[in-house]
Structure 1
Amino acid sequence: MLRRNKTVRVQSLRRGLKNRYMSMIALGGCIGTGLFITSGGAITSAGPGGALLAYCAIALFMLCLMACLGTVATHFPSGSFGDMSAQYIDQSSGFTTDVEYFLNWVFTVPIDIATVGIIMKFWFPSTPGWIWSLIALALIILINAVSVRSFGQTEYWMAFIKILAILAFLVVGVLTIFGIFGGKSVGFKNFTIGKAPFVGGFSSTVNVFILAGFAFQGTELVGITAGESSNPLKAVPKAIKQTFWRIMLFYVGSLAVMSFLIPYTSKALLGQSVTNITTSPFTLVFKNAGLKGAASLMNAIILIAVISAANSGLYAGTRSLYSMGRNNRSRALHFFGNTTKKGIPYSALTLTSVLSLAVYGLSFVGPKVYNELITSSSLLGFIAWLMIAIAAYRFGNAWIKQGHSFDELTYHAKWFKFCAIISIIFCLFIIVAQGYSSIASLDWFNILVTYFSVPVLLIVYFAYKWSHHDHVIPLKKIDVRSLKEVEQSKLNK
């Protein structure tokens, strides 16, 4: 007999995200600080070859992960990775995944709003950055508080602007590589200078995985928006397929252009820090092409990108906390499952905003804290991806074990189970290897900052398992019905 998990509940969120919103969010929703700001640091740290290797590896991994997510999210568009984990692993995994994903965005949103303050110094050097950061936070709270449709519309247009900017960057970059702009073809020159193409060996390349992972965070957001899509059966597969172009063209393509045009020894890149936004590699490429006003134009686009990423992050964090309040896994959090008449989880939005503001306060300690927040956020991102992959793998096994065929699913990716296995192995490798250089040098501070979330989440998992007498669901007892079938059966009772 199938186990009817407590995860399943009738949606109280509004399905107000149109298909075109989903498609645009999938293409450009979370492109922000990671690509526009930290990508230069990747080239500096590992050279053009090391940076490209890391980004290509992450890109291939993300394609595998999104293949898994698309299959499961189309079948069970709950709008929560915690629900997915609880449905196909156990309740303890579901609760821990919700906590982890919530913390991930509580750390990521402050990075983005802190970056807004830094960006604005380009135009207003004498104005304290925290003023602009607070204005940005207030703006994204307002967008999220109005309606899910306002969120979708805002993200649609901001993502559209980002995509146009990146396409322009790629065109200008390619023309500059061939000497049409800038006067002289650079060829493979920057791949042969100094210690290029690979700088710093294995440890530097592994460290770049951290920056690349941070840049790719939010790619999985389509799994959250599926819970508020007006037509998830059509929108999710389409959004997943478009993710391929986002990953290969926007991320790998952009980094390839940077690697050809900007030497890893560039003083601009070496001087790149959280206090010098004018050295964004996007800005440098436009400058080197001889285009006037490039710095100011790109700064404005980077500002839009970062606000957009923060907006998406606040949305994702709010929905994770809402899920914890709605799924009955913790009565203490039931309050956060409330929504307004428009379907806005106001309690969850309030706490997510307050905690994001509190973490933002840490940025006043200094730039080092800002960088450590990126490291912590990146690791939390890989843990979230690991849980998605494990849930997808178990869903696939349960589906087959219970006598079904993948052809019965509305949408399923080719090599679904293989992609899940690759995703699990890759996530485990990065989680362990991320602290390689710190462990090798016995840098206890960085080890603590990098891995602090691991023992915390293990405590959450086993404490929940012990207090609720929870067990991993046997494959034959996993409820593999679609969300539509489950909700219909609840209404018929």
Structure 2
Amino acid sequence: MSGEQQNRMQRGLKNRHIQMIALGGAIGTGLFYGSAETIKLAGPAITLSYLVGGLIIFFIMRMLGEMSVDEPVSGSFSYYAYKYWGDFPGFLSGWNYWFSYIIVSMAELTAVGIYINYWWPNIPHWVSALFFLVIITIANLVKVKLYGEFEFWFTIVKVAAILGMIILGIVLLISPYHATTTGISNLWKYGGFFPNGIRGLLFSLSVVLFSFGGIELIGITAGEADNPKKTIPKAINQVMWRILIFYVGALTVIMMLYPWNQVGLEGSPFVTIFSKIGIPSAATILNIVVLIAALSVYNSGVYSNGRMLYSLALQGNAPKIFAKLNRNGIPVTGVLTSSAFTLVAVILNYLFPGKVFIYLISVATIAAIINWMMIILTNLKFHQAKGKEAKKQTFKTPFYPYSNYISLAFLIMTVGIMFTMKDMRLAVYILPVWILILWIGYKVKKHL
């Protein structure tokens, strides 16, 4: 990839955009609606699950950040895998990332239909999905700065909702009129901190990891950040405290307010807390927030997929038409093609209303794990290629190479855990089939 080709993309993402994109990547619908399910698996120990999972994700993000700061390009780890490992790893990384975000985008569009039905139950899911697909796609075709603005304000709403919940929860905890079931003793009172044992903790890890899916988008923005050597390290280093505040903090407050085995029995924990302080429109407020969270993830999906196809085209791993940019530096063909594939979600919601979401989520989880494994292995290759120069990097992977091996072992263990879970097993079966499809696609490309 030549410098001339790379520089055609405009560096229109400011520091505040990068920070909010990074922050938004750690906050999704999994926290707002999925928290009750993870608490059922691990009880109060879910906070430990997020700490352990968050630490692994932090290591992986530092590995990606090390390469992104050294060479800030669009296409991120696909480009690095191609350069430092080989043709097929680059091919696999890029196309798997593109596929994973297509699946995630389909899932989020499906969720959008569910949220819209809260206000207008007669609107079919496919109509809502199609409407927002068109709006978000148009926004991504104008300027990269517009994408950054969308994501900036989307994330502001999500952050405000979580911080509001935490603050209001603390107010309830210290209030002299709080319920008798409220208190810090809830963290160990009902069956202990590990009510379902280590098994429950381990089972929760796969769901926890899904919550972090998409956080690697920080690396994708490197090619269009106005000062990547400053903004990328800052964004990545803040990942850990975000996880502490927005996941561990929020869930700890929720479980101190209510016994863990009652969380989610009356709907979302967030709705329950807002209702408890006398806000009658709690469900409406939450629905607005989760709708924005879903649109935020879809907005990021459209952005990242267009850039990944652009990078694959420059590598020769995708048709050259995807390497063309408009006058604003937008890979229009890549964006439109990705949206066209995401349109399948609209069709699926039309054909199978109400049955699509769970299948998409399981496949998206395994695709995210492949992405993270490729980042870990590519970082090892990066260090081998750089040799002694790697020690001079301004933004290093902490505890290299031990953090690489520990993170890789953790992800392999998670895949094994997923195989023992009924709802996740299908995705594990799909894993070797998907890699075989990519291998065949690579071989066909080589012979063309």
Same fold (TM over 0.5): yes
Change (3 A) 1:324 1:180: farther
Check the 8 A contact 1:30/1:312 in 2, yes or no.
no
- Give me the whole-angstrom Cα distance separating, in 1, the residues matched to 2:215 and 2:337: 24
Shift of 1:184: 4.7
Check the 8 A contact 1:376/1:451 in 2, yes or no.
no
Shift of 1:8: 10
Shift of 1:199: 5.1
Check the 8 A contact 2:6/2:74 in 1, yes or no.
no
* 1:343 aligned residue (315, 329, 332): 329
Change (3 A) 1:121 1:182: farther
Matched, 1:91 2:87: yes
Shift of 1:197: 4.2
Shift of 1:311: 0.6
Comparing 119-128 with 68-77, greater Cα deviation is found at: 119-128
Comparing 375-384 with 236-245, greater Cα deviation is found at: 236-245
* 1:464 aligned residue (434, 439, 442): 442
- Give me the whole-angstrom Cα distance separating, in 1, the residues matched to 2:385 and 2:177: 56
Which residue of the partner structure matches residue 278 of structure 2? 290
Shift of 1:437: 2.9
- Give me the whole-angstrom Cα distance separating, in 2, the residues matched to 1:261 and 1:90: 52
Comparing 118-127 with 339-348, greater Cα deviation is found at: 118-127
* 1:419 aligned residue (403, 406, 420): 403
Which residue of the partner structure matches residue 361 of structure 1? 347
Shift of 1:468: 4.5
Change (3 A) 1:115 1:52: same
* 2:158 aligned residue (137, 157, 162): 162
* 2:130 aligned residue (121, 129, 134): 134
Shift of 1:30: 5.5
Matched, 1:454 2:442: no
Code of the aligned partner of 2:389: H
The size of the alignment, in residue pairs, is 445
Q: Deviations over 1:8-33 (max 9, x none)?
A: 95343222111221112112246221
TM-score between the two structures when normalised by the length of structure 2: 0.90
Change (3 A) 1:146 1:175: same
Shift of 1:467: 6.9
Check the 8 A contact 1:8/1:83 in 2, yes or no.
no
Matched, 1:404 2:389: yes
Q: Deviations over 1:129-182 (max 9, x none)?
A: 332222222221111111111001111121122212211111112222334674
Give the SS at the match of 2:119. coil
Q: Deviations over 1:354-383 (max 9, x none)?
A: 111203433453545311211111111111
Pairs within 5 Å for 1:172-187: 172-179=168-175, 182-184=178-180, 186-187=182-183
Shift of 1:202: 5.2
Code of the aligned partner of 1:308: S
| Identical columns (%) | 31
Code of the aligned partner of 1:431: V
Which residue of the partner structure matches residue 253 of structure 2? 257
Which residue of the partner structure matches residue 100 of structure 1? 96
Which residue of the partner structure matches residue 377 of structure 1? 364
* 2:142 aligned residue (146, 158, 168): 146
Shift of 1:200: 4.9
Code of the aligned partner of 1:64: F
Check the 8 A contact 2:59/2:397 in 1, yes or no.
no
Comparing 247-256 with 292-301, greater Cα deviation is found at: 292-301
Change (3 A) 1:379 1:258: farther
* 1:70 aligned residue (55, 65, 72): 65
- Give me the whole-angstrom Cα distance separating, in 2, the residues matched to 1:467 and 1:158: 39
Q: Deviations over 1:197-236 (max 9, x none)?
A: 4455555444422321221112111100011111111111
Give the SS at the match of 1:13. coil
Check the 8 A contact 2:380/2:401 in 1, yes or no.
yes
Change (3 A) 1:193 1:451: farther
Matched, 1:300 2:300: no
Alignment RMSD (CA, Å): 2.7
Which residue of the partner structure matches residue 474 of structure 1? none
Check the 8 A contact 1:9/1:327 in 2, yes or no.
no
Give the SS at the match of 1:79. coil
Code of the aligned partner of 1:425: A
Shift of 1:452: 0.7
Check the 8 A contact 1:181/1:290 in 2, yes or no.
no
Comparing 120-129 with 146-155, greater Cα deviation is found at: 120-129
* 2:52 aligned residue (36, 52, 57): 57
Shift of 1:298: 2.3
Shift of 1:83: 0.4
Change (3 A) 1:372 1:206: farther
Q: Which runs of 5+ in 1 are unaligned?
A: 272-278, 470-493
Change (3 A) 1:232 1:303: same
Matched, 1:237 2:233: yes
Check the 8 A contact 1:182/1:289 in 2, yes or no.
no
Code of the aligned partner of 1:214: F
Code of the aligned partner of 2:210: F
- Give me the whole-angstrom Cα distance separating, in 1, the residues matched to 2:177 and 2:53: 31
Give the SS at the match of 1:404. helix
- Give me the whole-angstrom Cα distance separating, in 1, the residues matched to 2:434 and 2:307: 21
Code of the aligned partner of 1:325: A
Shift of 1:395: 1.4
Shift of 1:188: 4.1
Change (3 A) 1:341 1:180: farther
- Give me the whole-angstrom Cα distance separating, in 2, the residues matched to 1:55 and 1:287: 26
Change (3 A) 1:344 1:159: same
Q: Which runs of 5+ in 2 are unaligned?
A: none
